[in-house]
Structure 1
Amino acid sequence: MSLKDTARTVAVLSTLHAAIGDQLKTAKRELETGLKAAKAETGTQKIAVSLDEGQDVGTVSLVQPKATAAVTDPDAFTAWVIENYGSEISRRFVTEVKPGFQKKILEALTAAGTAEWADPETGVIHEVPGVTMQGRAAYTRLTVPDTGKAAIAEAWRAGRLADVALPELTAGGES
């Protein structure tokens, strides 16, 4: 392939990629909105993805990550560590909790699902100030195994994806 042919290929693929990318973002937002609504209405969190003839090529799932512990009030958290675990404090121009200790506490709180921490050495249960459990946004996960990808590629080559709304390319690349 000549350099000119390669440049043409890159220009065509880049234009198509941009147009499809914009449409993909919109479709993913619609899918996530639809899955959230389905979960609220019927409890559905996972659907099969099928081609026109009904062959399943993958699945789409609504994933709801567990809440994680986060330091939301660094001063309160640092004061608690100073009072209870002074050796875990680094003193410079600024007083701060050692990153390793903070990570250990946050991981334990995340695993427990609460801002209460049980000291493994003393058994004392601490209500850890300055830390709250924060929910994370649900998102969709698309799973298309290699067999599904092959089936989609074959359907594309055979012209059986006419019902999929592909972007219209206009002058100037606007879609």
Structure 2
Amino acid sequence: MSLKDTARTVAVLSTLADAIGDQLKTAKKELEAGLKEAKAETGTQKISVSLDESQDVGTVSLVQPKATAAVTDSEAFTAWVVENFATEITRRFVTEVKPGFQKKILAEISAAGVAEWSDPETGVIHEVPGVGMQGRAAYTRLTVPDAGKAAIAEAWRAGRLTDVALPELTAGGAE
């Protein structure tokens, strides 16, 4: 298979996966809303899933987990614990580099291409420990504009993509 053929296959499969994913999200939202409505109206929280009138393939249930506690105001909670349960508090002295300074240093080192930084006020060149230059992995980017996605969808509907190696959908998953 040529590189061009492989790129075409990736474009087609990516577009189809996106379309299926979008439809799945929409369908799940509709299902959840329908189950909530059914529970409110009739108490129904579970329905069977059928391929036809005689073959059930599963069930769908509305699951409502019990509420759990979560800290929503860390400062208020901590103040309450300090006041009432002081032995349950851990105090630490933390040394951190200010994020803005770190960002500035790393940007300048990246621009220079070496783990050295020149202090603009003194002119001193510092070898910066704990910082190294790391290569970045190569990657590909696929962009299929809406018109391309529409063309792929039309070709799919018209049966013109039979030469693209699409995965088979089987009862046990891909083989």
Q: Which has the higher strand share?
A: 1
Normalising by structure 2, report the TM-score.
0.48
Query: Higher relative contact order at CA 8 Å, sep ≥6: structure 1 or structure 2?
Result: 1
Between structure 1 and structure 2, the one with the greater Rg is 2
